[in-house]
């Protein structure tokens, strides 16, 4: 019979199992690496099994470690649910990734959630790309993000819960002197021969690049080659001016100096946007976010799909 196992030990084990790197796992938990290693050794003694194979070059789970992962996850999730049910999670801020510090569907949801739960703390973060943010959510460093869930790796997606929020119409950002800038709406076919930037080469935005690839496939539109990842409005403008490539964006994307934003039509491409959080996560503010997303989707018709639209 094994002794009672502290949730803290299981939380440390999960961090190490997900990172497969004790230094990163310790940083994630805000503890010293020596303390984490000590906790792992104690857990191994309690369970009577070696959980990790450690070498100077890498850390790997043993068969016993692999077997422990789902049990540890259920225990930790149950503890989080218990804390949430009795108010223990209310003091911790809910970290919500909005992808970009500008107008967005996610920001609208966050603003409404703050109105629904004024006593909860919902903090915005800006990670730029669901592929990266979803990994942070699964690892417990973020709580919520937004994006195209089906564009994620299936193994990562299996660890997340999600709620559809909006089918976002897409647009193209063009230099103001571009040949298509005079149009009020740009047919997708009119981009034939162009190289459109959609984050190619950025490992944080793989799902966005894949959506663009599917949209442009067979239409004579190429994906622009990798460009320096621009953080901030001024840097984005500078890189766009230098490359002069059209950029695939959503209709809510912020306006940029020296550029014009035009909705895409014929067909109208839609990006399925979902709110994403870690399975089993419990936090009072998460309920407010889900309620806000459902309320806005209904009031603004975000989940309606007009005839003749394109979906990935």
Residue 29: which CATH number?
1.10.10.10
Phi, psi angle pair for 155, to nearest 5°: -65, -40
CA contacts within 13 A on the Cβ side of 116? 20
At residue 35, the pLDDT reads 85
* Final residue before a domain boundary, out of 85, 111, 136: 85
Q: Would the pLDDT of 87 be above 70?
A: no
pLDDT > 70 fraction of the chain, expressed in percent and rounded? 90
Asked if pLDDT for residue 206 goes beyond 60, the answer is yes
Which residues are within 8 A (CB) of 187 and not within 5 positions of it... i.e. 6 or more apart? Answer: 264, 265, 266
Token readout for 167 is: 């089918």
Cβ neighbours of residue 306 closer than 8 Å, sequence gap 6 or more: 268
User: Are residues 154 and 287 both part of a single domain?
Assistant: yes
* CB neighbourhood size of 87 (10 A): 9
Does 176 lie in the same domain as 259?
yes
Asked whether residue 59 is assigned to any structural domain, the reply reads: yes
**Contacts of 206 by beta carbon, 8 Å cutoff, 6+ apart:** 129, 131, 151, 199
CATH code for the domain in which residue 252 is found? 3.40.190.10
**Residue partners of 164: CB distance under 8 A and separation at least 6:** 272, 273, 274, 297, 303
Q: Is residue 30 part of a domain?
A: yes
Distance separating alpha carbons of residues 17 and 114, to the nearest angstrom: 34
CA separation for the pair 65, 294 (Å, rounded): 39
Q: Is the pLDDT of residue 311 over 90?
A: yes
pLDDT at 159: 87
Q: What is the pLDDT of residues 236-275, one digit of tens each?
A: 667 677 778 899 999 998 888 888 999 999 999 999 999 9
The per-residue pLDDT of the chain, averaged, comes to 87
pLDDT at 163 over 70: yes
In a domain, 54, yes or no: yes
Pairing of strands 268-278, 160-175: antiparallel
Does position 126 have pLDDT exceeding 50, yes or no? yes
- The domain boundary, picked from 61, 85, 109, lies at 85
Of 23, 52, 85, the residue at which a domain comes to its end is 85
Are 188 and 306 members of one domain? Answer: no
d(CA 122, CA 290): 13
pLDDT at 310: 97
DSSP 3-state of 149: helix
What whole-number distance in Å separates Cα of residue 286 and Cα of residue 269? 30
Residues 191 and 251 in one domain: yes
Asked whether residue 265 falls in the same domain as residue 281, the answer is no
Task: Answer yes or no: pTM beyond 0.95.
Answer: no
Task: Mark whether 255 and 188 lie in a shared domain.
Answer: yes
Mean pLDDT of 85-102: 73
Q: Does residue 134 register a pLDDT over 70?
A: yes
Whether 2 is covered by a domain: the verdict is: no
- In this structure, are 195 and 235 located in the same domain? yes
158 shares its domain with 276: yes
Tell me what pLDDT residue 89 has: 46
Give yes or no: residues 27 and 80 share one domain: yes
d(CA 274, CA 285): 17
Same domain, 246 and 157: no
Q: Is residue 142 part of a domain?
A: yes
For residues 272 and 148, the answer to whether their CB atoms sit within 8 Å is: yes
> Is residue 76 scored above 50 in pLDDT?
yes
pLDDT at 174: 94
Check whether 288 has a pLDDT greater than 50: yes
Range of the domain at 244: 169-270
56/186 same-domain check: no
The band of 90, judged by pLDDT with boundaries at 50, 70 and 90, is very low
Residue 1 in any domain: the answer is no
pLDDT digits (tens, 9 = 90+) for 3-40: 678 888 998 998 888 888 888 888 767 678 888 899 99
Per the structure, the count of domains in the chain is 3
Q: Do 258 and 277 sit in the same domain of this protein?
A: no
Q: Is residue 286 part of a domain?
A: yes
Q: Which of 20-24, 130-134, 144-148 has the lowest mean pLDDT?
A: 20-24
- Counting beta carbons within 10 angstroms of the beta carbon of residue 1, is it exposed (0 to 12), middle (13 to 18) or buried (19 or more)? exposed
Assess whether pLDDT exceeds 50 at residue 137: yes
Q: Is residue 254 situated within a structural domain?
A: yes
């Amino acid at each position: 019979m094994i002794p009672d196992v502290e949730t803290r030990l299981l939380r440390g084990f999960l961090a190490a199992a997900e990172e497969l790197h004790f230094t990163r796992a310790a940083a994630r938990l805000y503890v010293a690496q020596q303390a984490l290693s000590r906790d792992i050794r104690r857990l191994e003694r309690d369970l009577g099994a070696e959980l990790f194979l450690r070498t100077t070059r890498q850390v790997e789970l043993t068969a016993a470690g692999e077997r422990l992962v789902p049990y540890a996850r259920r225990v930790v999730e149950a503890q989080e649910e218990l804390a949430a049910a009795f108010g223990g999670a209310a003091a911790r801020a809910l970290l919500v990734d909005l992808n970009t510090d500008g107008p967005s569907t996610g920001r609208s949801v966050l603003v409404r959630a703050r109105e629904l739960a004024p006593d909860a703390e919902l903090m915005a973060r800006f990670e730029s790309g669901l592929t990266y943010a979803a990994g942070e959510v699964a690892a417990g460093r973020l709580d919520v993000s937004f994006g195209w869930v089906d564009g994620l790796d299936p193994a990562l997606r299996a660890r997340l819960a999600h709620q559809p929020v909006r089918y976002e119409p897409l647009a193209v950002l063009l230099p103001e002197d571009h040949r298509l800038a005079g149009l009020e709406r740009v047919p997708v076919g009119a981009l034939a021969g162009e190289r459109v930037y959609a984050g190619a080469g950025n490992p944080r935005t793989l799902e966005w690049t894949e959506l663009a690839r599917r949209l442009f496939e067979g239409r004579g539109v190429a994906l622009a080659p990798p460009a320096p990842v621009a953080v901030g409005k001024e840097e984005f403008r500078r890189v766009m001016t230098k490359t002069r490539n059209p950029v695939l964006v959503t209709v809510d994307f912020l306006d940029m100096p020296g550029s014009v934003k035009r909705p895409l039509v014929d067909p109208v491409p839609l990006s399925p946007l979902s709110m994403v959080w870690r399975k089993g996560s419990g936090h009072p503010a998460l309920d407010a976010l889900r309620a806000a997303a459902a309320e806005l989707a209904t009031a603004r018709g975000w989940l309606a799909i007009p005839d003749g639209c394109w979906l990935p």
